[in-house]
Amino acid sequence: DHGLSEADPEVSSIIKKEKERQFKSLELIASENFTSRAVMQAVGSCLTNKYSEGLPGKRYYGGNEYIDELEILCQKRALAAFHLDEKKWGINVQPLSGSPANFEVYTAILNPHDRIMGLDLPHGGHLSHGFMTPKRRVSGTSIYFESMPYRLDESTGLVDYDMLEKTATLFRPRLIIAGASAYPRDFDYPRMRKIADAVGAFLMMDMAHISGLVAASVVANHFEYCDIVTTTTHKSLRGPRGGMIFFKKDPVLGVDLESAINNAVFPGLQGGPHNHTIGGLAVCLKHARSPEFKAYQNQVVSNCRALANRLVELGYTVVSGGTDNHLVLVDLRPLGIDGARVKKILDMASITLNKNSVPGDKSALVPGGIRIGSPAMTTRGFKEKEFIAIGDFIHEGVQITIDAKGLVSGSSKLQEFLKFAVSSDFLLTDKVS
């Protein structure tokens, strides 16, 4: 058996370049992280060779005695990591990622064209929560179900629960979804539970972004209010790329969630589970119960606060006025620039973050803000001091974007290029690195 560099120098060299890029850049994408060597070893193991359709003890393939042992271990660790009682909560660890996990829940508990309400994408929600534009149903969720997104109060940057309640009373959704991709605050789970109960809806939480923070109990816990909880495993939880679905064991609204969800995963939407991912996930979930993990998640929040405070000190408008979790949303519109251009300029300086829409934005392509996350650089050992420096670097990038002339002394060619880049649509394409 050849090593990768011998068997395929081309792929090996691409991986090497990507590793170097990851090593050298300031990684501030809120949904990314650096997983551990132990997780990577499990993911790169012989577990990838095995087919195991079905659940432990009920497989369609032979030779699954060790895979059964692994999946049961992973399930137990997942419930323990989130402090759940095995008698009350069940779990499926087979979803291939976050979007499939969400769609599996929808097909488990809804009929086609049933109504759902999730946070609107331009206000921080995820595509898989039912995004649509006035012209187009964009995600599978909005194509196969009727979606009426709820939104933020634009003056506070917080979820407008009064409006959610009013809309839900009229729209009568079968499912309400909490959770987001770009929301710096906790949701009001008791209020959402009340609204769901009043209209006879299931309440699901998609904790993909904050699952590590939830496991470490550094943000509000939603489990006691929700019927179903989905998550990715590779964001703040710092595991391999994958998904999980937690469900209440007692029937909810007359539905046996356990069998409905397990059947939706397989045979409904998936075939064989990715056992190498389940192996990596089990490793990550063991770590999630350690004191180091709790200290890491505390540091993630503390670093993010330090960054938000620094940006506010520098005069920036931060959506909702701050953060309670791992991300900050900066509204750049008061400065007369947009997130797309700033993102591109920072990319050139190996600072990686997202352009992001902010409440009140007109265009999703040229959004008015940036989303900055702390999990990845906290894994790399950064503390508050370094995150304050990151705030200063971002400020520099923003200044450069505002005033291309101020960038460099020296090469006038570069100056000219930057002037052109900043003033034209050039920075809005993703073709240039």
233 binds ligand PLP (CB under 6 A): no
Instruction: Assess whether 206 carries a catalytic annotation.
Output: yes
User: What are the C-alpha distances in Å from 186 to residues 67, 164, 218?
Assistant: 37, 16, 11
Beta-carbon count within 10 A of 369 CB: 26
Length of the chain: 433
Q: Tell me if residue 43 falls in helix, strand or coil.
A: helix
Query: Of these, 118, 124, 173, 179, which contacts ligand PLP (CB under 6 A)?
Result: 179
CB 31, min distance to ligand PLP, A: 5
Q: Are 202 and 227 in contact (CB under 8 A)?
A: yes
**Distance, CA of 88 to CA of 82 (rounded, Å):** 13
Site for ligand PLP contains 33 (CB under 6 A): no
Least CB distance to ligand PLP at residue 209 (A) = 5
CB of 247 to ligand PLP, least distance (A): 17
According to the binding rule CB under 6 A, does residue 270 interact with ligand PLP? Answer: no
- Residue 226 found at the interface with ligand PLP (CB under 6 A): no
Q: Is 211 one of the binding residues for ligand PLP (CB under 6 A)?
A: no
Q: Is 241 a catalytic residue?
A: yes
Q: Are strands 243-248 and 228-232 parallel, antiparallel or unpaired?
A: antiparallel
Distance, CA of 211 to CA of 252 (rounded, Å): 23
CB atoms within 10 A of CB 110: 20
Establish if 232 lies at the interface with ligand PLP (CB under 6 A).
yes
Query: How many whole angstroms separate alpha carbon 93 and alpha carbon 100?
Result: 12
Position of minimal CB gap to ligand PLP: 98
Name which of 126 and 355 has its Cβ closer to ligand PLP.
126
Three-state secondary structure call for residue 171: helix
Q: Cite the DSSP H helix spans in 273-383.
A: 275-287, 291-313, 339-348, 375-379
206 touching ligand PLP, by CB under 6 A: yes
List the catalytic residue out of 104, 160, 206, 258.
Answer: 206
Residues in the interface with ligand PLP (CB under 6 A) total: 13
Cα(290)–Cα(325) distance, integer angstroms: 20
Q: Which amino acid is at 98?
A: G
Catalytic residue among 107, 141, 232, 378: 232
Between the CA of residue 11 and those of 8, 23, 168, 276, 409, what are the distances in Å?
6, 18, 51, 21, 39
List 137, 172, 241, 419, catalytic entry = 241
Q: Which amino acid is at 96?
A: L
Residue closer to ligand PLP, measured from CB, 70 or 105: 105
Does residue 208 belong to the site contacting ligand PLP (CB under 6 A)?
yes
Q: Which two tokens stand for residue 310?
A: 């620094």
By the 8 A CB rule, do 150 and 117 touch? yes
- Binding characters for ligand PLP, 99-138, by CB under 6 A (x = yes): x--------------------------x-x----------
H/E element, 397: helix 384-402
Q: Judged by CB under 6 A, which of 54, 90, 98, 124 binds ligand PLP?
A: 98
Let me know: does 345 contact 370? Beta carbons within 8 Å. Answer: no
Segment interacting with ligand PLP, rule: CB under 6 A, options 149-157, 203-211, 260-268, 296-304:
203-211
Can you say how many angstroms the Cα of residue 42 is from the centroid of all Cα atoms in its chain?
Answer: 22
Name the segment binding ligand PLP (CB under 6 A); options: 93-101, 186-194, 292-300, 383-391. 93-101
Of the residues 32, 50, 53, 153, which is catalytic? 53
Burial of 388 from C-beta contacts in 10 A (0-12 / 13-18 / 19+): middle
User: Is residue 181 a contact residue for ligand PLP (CB under 6 A)?
Assistant: yes
In angstroms, give the least distance from the CB of 361 to ligand PLP.
18
Q: From the CB of 65, what's the least distance to ligand PLP, in Å?
A: 30
Of 188, 228, 237, which Cα lies nearest the Cα of 208? 237
Q: Which residues contact 152 (CB under 8 A, 6 or more apart)?
A: 119, 123, 124, 158, 159, 160, 359
Q: Does 97 bind ligand PLP (CB under 6 A)?
A: yes
Residue from 77, 115, 209, 248 touching ligand PLP (CB under 6 A): that is 209
Segment interacting with ligand PLP (CB under 6 A) among 45-53, 78-86, 177-185, 390-398: 177-185
State in angstroms the smallest separation of the CB of 322 from ligand PLP. 20
Task: Tell me which of 235, 248, 341, 355 is the catalytic residue.
Answer: 235
Q: Is residue 31 a contact point for ligand PLP (CB under 6 A)?
A: yes
Q: Which residues bind ligand PLP (CB under 6 A)?
A: 31, 97-99, 126, 128, 179-181, 206, 208-209, 232
User: Which residues are marked as active site?
Assistant: 51, 53, 206, 232, 235, 241
